[in-house]
Amino acid sequence: MKVIVDTSVWSLALRRRAIVQDDLVSALRDLVENGQAVVLGCIRQEILSGISSTDQFTRLRDRLRAFPDEPLSSQDYERAAEFFNLCRKRGIQGSNTDFLVCAVAAAREHAIFTADEDFKKFQRVIPFALFNP
């Protein structure tokens, strides 16, 4: 099974050293070693955004280049907009990136690995699987 790794998990593994999150980082390491980790371009952008140090940006960018972006189609973006609208009708807010992640996961039957609790809210309305390490 392929697993889309969300920004929240990458950030824990690549930017911070949080002992409390060792299980998440270990699970990410396993996914990477087994070739199951999937990266979307929008997640790559989120991870790299906001880094003020040019050296740190370059190091992180270079590390992430080991993971090719999952190719996306117009249908992925259209489905993301549908998911956004469905959730909004139910009073559930999320980012365009989050709904694109959900759309890709649903279309390809990938799970989503995230530390963001919002995805549990989305899951009440739209069909996708969450990865539980």
Average pLDDT over residues 90-108: 97
| Distances 121 to 37, 98, 127 between C-alpha atoms, Å | 23, 12, 11
Average pLDDT over residues 88-111: 97
Of 115, 111, 73, 3, nearest to 127 by C-alpha is 111
Average pLDDT over residues 30-56: 95
Quick check: 15 pLDDT over 70? Answer: no
Which residues are within 8 A (CB) of 29 and not within 5 positions of it... i.e. 6 or more apart? 13
Residue percentage of the chain with pLDDT more than 90:
83
Confidence class of residue 86 from pLDDT cuts 50, 70 and 90?
very high
pLDDT for the residue 12: 84
